[in-house]
Amino acid sequence: MKESIDALHVEIIHVNYLDEYEGMVRFKTESSNVYDAMFWGNTFEPGEKRNLKVSQLGQRFNWEKTFSLNPFKEKKLEKLEDGPGYIGYGQIEKLNPVIGCFGDFQLNLGNWTSDERVINEYIYWRIDRLEVS
């Protein structure tokens, strides 16, 4: 699991506990975007404002898809219709590890390249689920 670079200030909207340790939380960012994420070992209350670390679990990396499926140079996450995942449209900011900016989020995407030519390139990134801590 790769964490966000900075804590994100959010408002908790809804919490669904699956058991005493884990569940799903819906939160709103300062830019009013709403996201769903899994959690484990935390407690949340609707209306609560707090800082969260966001991480992502992604699929296998595909160079061609990553660099060809964001032609409009967007920075955002779009919720998948089926399941807890998102499609990320972002821009690479740093390497070692690769840091991508997706609008509300800066996410650590791992160490899949050290080629400095990709810095500032726009990317497409499939996220199986977001997790918060």
Work out how many domains the chain is built from and give that number. 2
Based on the fold, state whether residues 19 and 65 are members of the same structural domain. no
Is 11 in a helix, a strand, or coil? strand
Indicate which CATH number applies to the domain containing 9: 2.40.50
Whether 46 and 72 map to the same domain: the answer is no
What is the distance between the alpha carbons of residues 118 and 46, in angstroms, rounded to a whole number? 40
What digits encode the pLDDT tens for the residues 107-132? 999 899 999 999 999 999 999 889 98
pLDDT of 82 over the 90 cut = no
Q: Which domain covers residue 38, as residue numbers?
A: 2-54
Same domain for 64 and 22, yes or no, is no
Would residue 103 be called left, alpha or beta, if left means φ above 0 and alpha means ψ between -120 and 50 degrees? left
Same domain? For 43 and 63 the reply is no
Average pLDDT rounded to a whole number, residues 99-104: 94
Same domain for 68 and 123: yes
Domain identity same for 65 and 33: no
Sorting pLDDT into bands at 50, 70 and 90, what band is 6? Answer: low
The verdict on 67 and 113 lying in the same domain is: yes
Q: Do 64 and 120 belong to one domain?
A: yes
Same-domain status, 38 and 66: no
What are the tens digits of pLDDT across the range 25-72? 999 999 999 999 999 999 999 999 999 888 887 767 799 999 999 999
